[in-house]
Amino acid sequence: MKLLHPQGWKPALGYANGILASGQTVYVGGQIGWTADQEFVTDDFVGQCLQAMQNIEAVLKEAGATPQNVVRLTWYVTDKQEYINSQKELGAAYRSVFGKHFPAMTMVQVADLIEDRAKVEIEATAVI
């Protein structure tokens, strides 16, 4: 993988502007903050984000991949202010799953998610 950062651009903090990769592609459907039994154990935003990232990790493992193979994440949150206000705790949760690997990312606030208790849904694309 090669990080893509155009010359003269300010540093991308916590994400990459782009990644060049080749290999088999793994597409992970949107994961929310519930367990393998489809049960929510918390309504805490960071707790749900951590669970969603752990769910991504579990799906990747099925393909023989790890979070370090992820080239793109798309985050859908129901409250961008909750996202902004949780940066420190969210960063720690992120690093506990992804380490210091920062793929290309997009975060979008949405009006609602299919599961009423869900506060976040995260899609991932990985290349192995």
Domains and their CATH numbers in the chain:
25-127 (3.30.1330.40)
- Which residues of the chain, if any, have pLDDT below 70? none
Which residue do the tokens 């080239």 mark? 71
pLDDT value, residue 1: 87
Question: CB–CB of 60/66 below 8 Å?
Answer: yes
Task: Give the global pTM.
Answer: 0.94
Identify any residues that bridge with 27 across adjacent strands, giving them in sequence order: 125
Contact between 73 and 30 under an 8 Å Cβ cutoff? The reply is no
Map residue 44 onto helix, strand or coil.
coil
Answer for the pair 116, 62: CB distance below 8 angstroms, yes or no.
no
CA 20 to chain centre: 18
pLDDT digits (tens, 9 = 90+) for 34-64: 999 999 999 999 999 999 999 999 999 999 9
